[in-house]
Amino acid sequence: MAYHHGTRVLEVSTSLVAPIVGTAGLQVVVGISPVNLAENPYSATNIVKIAYNFAEAAAAVGYSNNFKDYNLNQSISATFKKFAVAPIILINVLDPKKHTEPVEKKEYEVQQMQIVLETEGLLLDELIVENGEQRLAVDVDYIASFNDDGYVVLTLLESGNTSAIEKLSVSGKKIAPSLVTSRDIIGGYDVATGKESGLELIRQIYPLFGMTPGIITSPGYSKDPSVASVMAAKCLNINSVFTCECVVDLDCTSEGATKYTEVKTVKEKSGFVSSHVEPVWPKVRIGDEVYYYSAIFSALIAYTDTKNDDVPSLHMSNKSLPITGLCLDDEKDTEVVMDQEQANLVNSFGVVTAINRNGFKSWGNNTAAYPSITDPKDRWFGCRRFFSWWGNSFILTYFQKVDDPANYRLVEAICDAENIRGNSYVAQGKCAGARIEYLEDENPITDILNGKVQFHQYLAPYTPAEDILNVLEFDPDMLETALNGGE
């Protein structure tokens, strides 16, 4: 051990910005990740994970800079690196026991007692390391670890008498993200094992963590109508009582909308009609990094809510995005350049996009239900989220009152508490109004005898000032007065 005498300093790498915590826009992301890099690769599949920082997310499901093959990487990066908000719920469906492919034997030269296997997705416990016909033993002849690029580094141990080895051959297995299908994302319930998978796991979030989902996403996979339709269904009746929304990607591959004028047709073919669905188009990029827009937009929602006292009263349009451009979902990531007029047309179809106005901004307020539905509660995404959040909050707050005597004190306690709460949010400018009533005609004695008590609550979240018009008119009288010296 070194002997120190005096004053010293030690510099360490700068950590990520400490995330701010909020749950109104709690992201629930279902997809795939490089689980071979996770702390416990075989305990990271179809298990609900919660992460409050980047390190926890990486340990839970694995992380690499490969955004193309692993969509959870996109959401982890957007959440912790671009917006610094927490927490996030991660559900990985890539199974290292199922979604794998063999790695053919390859020979490597040993340099300074090490070799680097420049192949992504390698499973450490499946590696076969050989010196000629002799198979080396892990932790005896060598140790294996991952570098920052996600590649396996094999370091020979002198204790294993390996110092004379010049070449090694390595084979094994690696995870294969291409084998994951939309069916895996949708998931289901296995009657034989009693286990749930994919989107079916959403029901476990509240029992496990006491939090209700805010935004469901599956970057990339959500462009598949079969996945998006299940996501929309999972927004309703969570644990039989809770509600949330989902953000889905509108297909912008060669088979989807490659032009802004094609958005309407593709949206209609995709069946995006639910007021709980927010379609986004196209993809976005940050330098060389390409993201599905849903990953960035969902993180924006969580960030905006958290900065707003964890109240979803702000609309998500015209908010700054940390992106440098828009692109299609093709091999070349073809750039998309839209002006405001074109983006407005996309909005008119009930789809959110982005525009560059001295920096990129999110653009659009309508849910997928528009233009078929114009009820402000269901048309405006911000209003829809406010209603869902308020309903969830009511359920969570007054669950303690369930099974209390159905008397005047109960009615008065709930009405007083909710009206005080509503007045507080009105005073803060977070809504125009919120009041609750107990109406006798909605509570007949037959219902009271059956243990049912009903309240009637009125909510008025602010609608977005989407169209601000200033009428300009020439006033000749002003001109005449100025020319006549003000007389």
Tens digits of residue pLDDT in 456-471: 999 999 999 999 999 9
Question: Domain for residue 157, yes or no?
Answer: yes
* Same domain (yes/no): 43, 108: no
- The separation between CA 123 and the C-alpha centre of its own chain, rounded to angstroms, equals 27
Range of the domain at 120: 100-175
Dump pLDDT digits (tens) for 354-408. Answer: 999 999 999 999 999 999 999 999 999 999 999 999 999 999 999 999 999 999 9
pLDDT tens per residue across span 82-140: 999 999 999 999 999 999 999 999 999 998 889 999 999 999 999 999 998 889 999 88
| The length of the chain, given as a count of residues | 487
239-258 as b/e: b if 16+ CB within 10 A:
eeebbbbbbbbbbbeeebbb
| Cβ-count burial 196-222 (b if 16+ within 10 Å, e if not) | bbbbbbbbebbeeeebbbbbbbbbbbb
Asked if 71 and 50 sit in the same domain, the reply is yes
* Beta bridge partners of residue 130, listed in sequence order: 135, 169
For residues 262 and 243, state if they share a domain. yes
Q: Same structural domain for residues 79 and 115?
A: no
* H-only helix segments in 4-103: 54-61, 71-76
Does residue 156 sit in the same domain as residue 255? Answer: no
Give the chain's radius of gyration (CA, Å). 28
Closest CA to 397 of 242, 276, 246, 244: 242
149 and 192 fall within a common domain: no
- Which two structure tokens, joined as six digits, stand for 245? 């929304």
Last residue of a domain, one of 117, 141, 175: 175
Distance between CA atoms of residues 224 and 221, nearest Å: 6
| Same structural domain, 326 and 235 | yes
Same domain, 263 and 331: yes
* Domains in the chain, number: 2
Q: pTM of this prediction?
A: 0.92
Mean pLDDT, to the nearest integer, of 256-262?
A: 97
Which of 318, 335, 363 is the last residue before a domain boundary?
363
178-193 pLDDT tens trace: 999 999 999 999 999 9
Rounded distance between C-alpha atoms, residue 386 and residue 140, angstroms: 59
Nearest to 42 by CA among 145, 175, 206: 175
- One domain for residues 268 and 334: yes
